[in-house]
Amino acid sequence: MKKKIHDPVYYGEYLQLNKLLDTQLPKSLELENNEAHDETLFIIVHQVYELWFKQIIHELKSIVEMFSGKTVQEKDLTTVVARLERITKIQGLLVDQLSVMETMTPMDFLEFRDLLVPASGFQSVQFREIEVLMGLKTNNRKEVDREYFLGRLNDEDKERILKVESSPSILELTQAWLERIPFTKNKDFDFWSEYEKQINIILDDDEKIIHENQATLDSRSMAIQLENLNATRETFASLLDDKRHEQLRKIGKRTLSREATLNALFILLYRDEPILHLPYRFLTTLMDMDELFTTWRYRHAIMAQRMLGTKIGTGGSSGHHYLKMAAENNRVYLDLFNLSTFLIPRSKLPTLPEDIKKNLGFHFNE
């Protein structure tokens, strides 16, 4: 089949630079005929953010598509990890870009800030779409209720967010994928029973050490250590008991189902097994992405305080305080981060039966 011959491609036309470079229109020039010099910087920085957001959405939607089937192929998981890693590289640029913005002083910003009211970064529908695709639903946000959140968007953008929200998010698809992972149980072996035995041995040893150190501890210090140990026992019990886990889900302390949580923990515990390398990288890159957006929100909050002090934001929010609370309270994959609570040393891991070990490895015929 002959390759189709196309007309010569010109750099500026291919990138549509005439359109792209003609979209920086300072309000200070339009409304006051006296351009505030740093408004162009402000516009370009935010336009670049939106371009990168578009690319992140492009990557996330492809991941949603690959995870939407009944199974996830190994080669697709390789692609998913690569695309998540690409997103984290982009996020590094988003964080670094704040340093460029901070070359603008607070008084430079005040020259045009009031002209932007009531526009706000809160109305970035692309960033809101990213959050929903990741798994942060509009009714699960903290520091702002759903009505206020959607009320800040125009009808077209609101419809766009609701449409994205009507489909499964990466968090929901990851849960379904984790629930399908085998290896932890067969007719002769229940990994979680063995894991619980090992946990009890570890915690009993810890209690023994506390009592053996009575001579060096006063009564209050010993009581605190024993109280902390009992709290640790309760934390492990809440994971291993389905009813306790579900109670924590109902009050918003956990998100993933118990089965998904246990299988994610198994992946982290046995990450060295060949077949779990990619699942481990997938879970860690999800956490990387979540962490980097949290970092970006924190940096944004600090920049807002530096620029505005305690002034309210242009969109009517509490400015720095709102951004700080959003960073702390709107993490998506917190359950994955909290799995570190349940990790134990490799030397203490239950020994897996040979048939499970074989399924976790790669075996080639000679």
> Which residues contribute to the annotated binding site for heme?
300
Give the model's confidence band at 126: pLDDT under 50 very low, under 70 low, under 90 confident, else very high. very high
pLDDT in tens, 269-298: 999 999 999 999 999 999 999 999 999 999
pLDDT at residue 74, as a whole number? 84
pTM of the model: 0.90
> Which residues contribute to the annotated binding site?
42-46, 113, 300, 314
Whether 261 has a pLDDT exceeding 70, the answer reads yes
pLDDT in tens, 160-188: 999 999 999 999 999 999 999 888 877 78
Give the DSSP H/E element, type plus range, for residue 190: strand 189-190
pLDDT at residue 117, as a whole number? 85
The separation between the first and the last C-alpha atoms of the chain, rounded to the nearest angstrom, is 41
Give the model's confidence band at 364: pLDDT under 50 very low, under 70 low, under 90 confident, else very high. very low
Rounded alpha-carbon distances, angstroms, from residue 253 to 247, 248, 334, 348: 9, 5, 10, 28
What span, in angstroms and rounded, lies between the C-alpha atoms of 226 and 238?
Answer: 18
Percent of the residues in the chain that have a pLDDT greater than 90, as a whole number: 68
Q: How do the domains of the chain map onto residue ranges?
A: 11-186+254-360
> Which residues contribute to the annotated binding site for substrate?
42-46, 113, 314
Give the model's confidence band at 326: pLDDT under 50 very low, under 70 low, under 90 confident, else very high. confident
* Cβ atoms within 10 Å of 345's Cβ, excluding its own: 8
Instruction: Determine whether 114 is exposed, middle or buried from the number of CB atoms within 10 Å of its CB (0-12, 13-18, 19+).
Output: exposed
What is the dotted CATH code of the domain comprising 11-186+254-360?
1.20.58.480
At 84, which amino acid appears? L
